[in-house]
Amino acid sequence: MFAEQFANVRTKSPLIHNITNYVTVNDCANMVLACGASPIMADDAAEVEDITTICGGLNINIGTLNSRTIESMLKAGRKANALGHPVVLDPVGAGASALRTGTAYRLLDEVRFTVIRGNISEVKTLASGAGTTKGVDADVADRVTEENLDGAVAFAKAFAAKTGAVVAITGAIDIVADGAKAYCIRNGHPMMSAITGTGCQLSALTAAFITANPGQPLEAAAAAVCAMGLAGEIAHARLTPLDGNATYRNYIIDAIYHMTPAQLEEGAKYEVR
Amino acid sequence: MFAEQFANVRTKSPLIHNITNYVTVNDCANMVLACGASPIMADDAAEVEDITTICGGLNINIGTLNSRTIESMLKAGRKANALGHPVVLDPVGAGASALRTGTAYRLLDEVRFTVIRGNISEVKTLASGAGTTKGVDADVADRVTEENLDGAVAFAKAFAAKTGAVVAITGAIDIVADGAKAYCIRNGHPMMSAITGTGCQLSALTAAFITANPGQPLEAAAAAVCAMGLAGEIAHARLTPLDGNATYRNYIIDAIYHMTPAQLEEGAKYEVR
Amino acid sequence: MFAEQFANVRTKSPLIHNITNYVTVNDCANMVLACGASPIMADDAAEVEDITTICGGLNINIGTLNSRTIESMLKAGRKANALGHPVVLDPVGAGASALRTGTAYRLLDEVRFTVIRGNISEVKTLASGAGTTKGVDADVADRVTEENLDGAVAFAKAFAAKTGAVVAITGAIDIVADGAKAYCIRNGHPMMSAITGTGCQLSALTAAFITANPGQPLEAAAAAVCAMGLAGEIAHARLTPLDGNATYRNYIIDAIYHMTPAQLEEGAKYEVR
């Protein structure tokens, strides 16, 4: 069913304001272009309201937050709320430092998010104020598996209901949920975790999808998650024996560039719980 | 005629100081290396004068400007002027926020630029104080076409005469003009607009070309624009069916790396108006 | 003998805190992932102590230092020292500006480094307070050659003895020395200097190696230098006629991703002096 959501991205080509980290920002910009949308990166407090105003959606990623950009995130988020623009939060490393955790809480308090996308550890930190983070990956002990999937789905729905946001928890199995309904997605490839920033890229992609599909944040976010995972599969199938994580990074963006709505429709592997 | 200008870059290997954005900075550095020059990136106000002093040319790009780096741009620009070093301005997103537009004006007021390179929307903003920007691309309504080319050339010449800078307006047709003469360049490929930062890379490349060719800013800038477009053509010809914008990005830099002065001479497509 | 050091990286997968520059940060992160470790980038003074605490090692790179991040480097370095974590210093561009040189001195004064890795010009600046830097490459006049190798080795040992750090001077011939023993390494390919950030990537890789091999900083650093050079050789052998520095950049990371300890053991080219 995700052909329509993707087709809307290609047709409408929304302009997305990204306040994101300097580690993966180039890949995020190329990913947004690959899906047919347009990116603009701007993080100074003196201009974020102007930039958000001319955009259709906002993506906030705290991966390399600092005292200057935290204020920019808050200002941009409030402005986007005032304008009715969709907003994505990527709480990179929440739980890894008091600054990250505290900033994520402050963002949740002061900004209404349309989608919150993180790994299970980050989302647990947001939800509970507890948790540990190993870099920006989920703790092994907290990995979503077939065995604990029902519990994780219930958790995602509960956090979605509490925040009013669609919650996307990504990992080996992805969960995209609102308070009532969850998509469990089995696209992707384990090698994606050997690339820096596939999560960041997905958050930027999600911002494009939800902006092009107003009123359908759950389906649009699930479509973006499926598209990213499917791109990981397509890109992996291209790898020759000497290709490693750097080439794989390029091929994933390439796969989004060439992906058609019909290809996404056919390749998306999900169930509703 | 551009073989000589390119050969000078390879022979002299100028060191270029870049104050640029964090989105495309890595590609800019690799592009400068690809053409045979050397890049150094430094944006702290406490060191930009030192760095500019040891370099041959300066490239100022406002793509992710902030309160800290704006002062650095001004200091570096004034120092480069005092030393007689060529300076490029890339007014990324001028028109998209008051901060960008105001900073671009301030830079024009306080620094003498050798080349100003932007899309038509950005350059119109600089020239007129009016205009809208969709991200960092030109407005469709303001695109330079065969039909409106004479008007655009006249505009470029007028703005060049006003500022004393060579004005490079890039898009489907590129215009590189001083007050008296304009090169209209038809190299390039439409897919280049699906890559973030081809404009930024071109500005960095232009800084290398004008630094290696003192006294010939018009020809050197035109040579850089032709080289970038030709690289886009060469790289596009290499693409296999699964290659998208990420691979294309790499191949464009690769094409500059291998380009010879003779190849540029033969491949450059331009007319003088 | 370096198989063991590399195997420890793959087995232990240390988490590495990087305070690095925004030019090459993405490549550094992918390089750390390629070798089997995990990167986290964080540079705000309010969180660097938290982040360093959850990591096993720290990599400090001054490539785009600024007033905000200099304090972060000092705080993180002191914290890592207090915790007994290994710390790498990459003094990018020391000698090119008073800010860089002064910051490098201040870091050496206030932080105990496990490894200092730079080109000969940078390391000479640290050692002597004199020297010139052409961008981030060594001066030609100061290049380490077969003819002056003994002198360079003596210099490296002397600086290592003075600082208590392993000193890694990289160039056409690499020297990795403590006060008593030096590895002279002849891996690598000249084309590596056409890529921005191979030095930065090596510093990040070195941080992973020394963190996974406590008590063996000399062997671990030498193993990292050999691995990087060998990756440059393997990647170069893959290049097709149209591949340039951008593709080469990806292939070097890919080569680390696929490198086995046995391959490193067999490919490492070094002698002890």
Q: Which string of DSSP letters, residue by residue, matches chain B?
A: -THHHHHHHHHH--EEEEE--TTTHHHHHHHHHHTT-EEEE---TTTHHHHHHHSSEEEEE-TT--HHHHHHHHHHHHHHHHHT--EEEE-TTTTSSHHHHHHHHHHHHHS--SEEEE-HHHHHHHHHS----BTTBPPGGG---TTTHHHHHHHHHHHHHHHSSEEEE-SSSEEEE-SS-EEEE----GGGGGSTTHHHHHHHHHHHHHHHSTT-HHHHHHHHHHHHHHHHHHHHHH--TT--HHHHHHHHHHHHHH--HHHHHHH--EEE-
Q: Which residues of A contribute to the annotated binding site?
A: 41, 117, 170, 197
Residue C99: list chain B partners with CB under 8 A: 44, 46-47, 50
Residue A129 binned pLDDT confidence (cut-offs 50, 70, 90): low
Of C98, C134, C136, the CB nearest to B50: C98
In this structure, what token pair is assigned to residue C104?
């490098």
pLDDT for the residue A132: 47
d(CA C161, CA C155): 10
User: What's the gap in Å between the CA of B134 and the closest CA on chain A?
Assistant: 7
User: What's the gap in Å between the CA of C261 and the closest CA on chain A?
Assistant: 16
In this structure, what token pair is assigned to residue C260?
């086995």
Of B96, B137, B243, the CB nearest to A254: B243
List strands edge to edge, sheet with A166-169: A38-41, A15-19, A57-61, A87-90, A115-118, A166-169, A174-177, A182-185, A270-272
d(CA C240, CA C236): 9
Residues of C with CB under 8 A from a CB of B: 21-24, 26-27, 63-68, 93, 96-100, 132-137, 194-197, 241-247, 249-250
**pLDDT for residue B130 is more than 70:** no
d(CA B72, CA B84): 18
Residues of B with CB under 8 A from a CB of A: 21-24, 26-27, 63-68, 93, 96-100, 132-137, 194-197, 241-247, 249-250
**Strand C166-169, strand C174-177: pairing:** antiparallel
What structural domains does chain B harbor?
A: 3-272 (3.40.1190.20)
Residue B26: list chain A partners with CB under 8 A: 26
Residues of C with CB under 8 A from a CB of A: 15, 22, 25-27, 29-30, 33-34, 38-44, 46-47, 50-51, 54, 68, 234, 238, 249-258
The pLDDT tens digits for C80-121 are 999 999 999 999 999 999 999 999 999 999 999 999 999 999
Q: Do A242 and C258 touch (CB under 8 A)?
A: yes
d(CA C83, CA C50): 12
Contact C97/B42 with Cβ under 8 angstroms?
yes
B41 known ligand binder: yes
User: What's the gap in Å between the CA of B57 and the closest CA on chain A?
Assistant: 25
pLDDT for the residue C7: 98
Contacting residues for C61 by C-beta, under 8 A, at least 6 apart = C18, C19, C20, C21, C28, C90, C92, C200, C203, C204
Summary mean pLDDT of chain A = 94
Region of residue C232 (left: phi > 0; alpha: psi -120 to 50; beta: else): alpha
Residue B254: list chain C partners with CB under 8 A: 242-247
In this structure, what token pair is assigned to residue B72?
């650095």
Length of chain B: 273
d(CA A38, CA B198): 14
Q: Which residue of chain A has the CA closest to B192? A: A33
Residue B104: list chain A partners with CB under 8 A: none
List strands edge to edge, sheet with C15-19: C38-41, C15-19, C57-61, C87-90, C115-118, C166-169, C174-177, C182-185, C270-272
The pLDDT tens digits for C171-180 are 999 999 999 9
**pLDDT for residue B137 is more than 90:** no
Q: How remote is the C-alpha of B189 from its chain's centroid?
A: 17
Q: Which residue of chain B has the CA closest to A46? A: B99
Q: Do B99 and A253 touch (CB under 8 A)?
A: no
Q: Which residue of chain C has the CA closest to A193? A: C33
Q: How remote is the C-alpha of A50 from its chain's centroid?
A: 23
In this structure, what token pair is assigned to residue B183?
């090169």
**pLDDT for residue A130 is more than 90:** no
**pLDDT for residue A139 is more than 60:** no
Q: Do C26 and A23 touch (CB under 8 A)?
A: yes
Task: Give the single-character DSSP code of A144.
Answer: -
Contact B64/B21 with Cβ under 8 angstroms?
yes
User: What's the gap in Å between the CA of C92 and the closest CA on chain B?
Assistant: 10
Task: Give the single-character DSSP code of A190.
Answer: G
The pLDDT tens digits for A11-41 are 999 999 999 999 999 999 999 999 999 999 9
User: What's the gap in Å between the CA of A68 and the closest CA on chain C?
Assistant: 10
Residue B42: list chain C partners with CB under 8 A: 64, 93, 96-97
Q: Do B244 and A255 touch (CB under 8 A)?
A: yes
Residue type present at position A206:
T
Q: Which residues of C contribute to the annotated binding site?
A: 41, 117, 170, 197
Residue A64: list chain C partners with CB under 8 A: 41-44
Rounded to the nearest 5 degrees, what angle is found at the Cα of A32, between the Cα atoms of A30 and A36? Answer: 110
Residue type present at position C123:
V
pLDDT for the residue B136: 39
**pLDDT for residue B133 is more than 80:** no
CB atoms within 10 A of CB C44: 24
d(CA C61, CA C196): 14
pLDDT for the residue C133: 45
Look up tokens 């004008």; give the residue: B210
Q: Which of C167, C228, C183, C226 is nearest to C202 (CA)?
A: C228
pLDDT for the residue B128: 81
Residue B135: list chain A partners with CB under 8 A: 15, 38-40
For the packed helices C3-12 and C198-212, what is the interaxial angle rounded to 10 degrees?
80
The pLDDT tens digits for C118-155 are 999 999 999 986 444 444 344 445 789 999 999 999 99
Contact A38/A32 with Cβ under 8 angstroms?
yes
The pLDDT tens digits for B49-59 are 999 999 999 99
Q: What is the pTM of this model?
A: 0.96
In this structure, what token pair is assigned to residue B259?
């380009």
The pLDDT tens digits for C202-251 are 999 999 999 999 999 999 999 999 999 999 999 999 999 999 999 999 99
In this structure, what token pair is assigned to residue B163?
């500022």
Of C38, C44, C256, the CB nearest to A135: C38
Distances (CA, A) of C15 to A101, A118, A142, B270: 19, 19, 18, 53
Residue type present at position B1:
M
Q: Do A257 and B246 touch (CB under 8 A)?
A: yes
pLDDT for the residue B129: 64
Q: Is the dihedral of CA B139, B142, B145, B149 positive or negative?
A: negative
Q: Which residues of B2-14 are buried (b: 16+ CB within 10 A; e: fewer)?
A: bbebbbbbeebbb
Strand pairing partners for A61? A90
Overall average pLDDT of the C60-66 stretch = 97
Q: Which of A8, B132, B71 is nearest to C67 (CA)?
A: B71
Residue A22: list chain C partners with CB under 8 A: 22, 25, 41
Which of C21, C23, C54, C211 should be substituted to probe chain A, the one whose Cβ sees the most A Cβ atoms within 10 Å? C54
The predicted complex's ipTM stands at 0.95
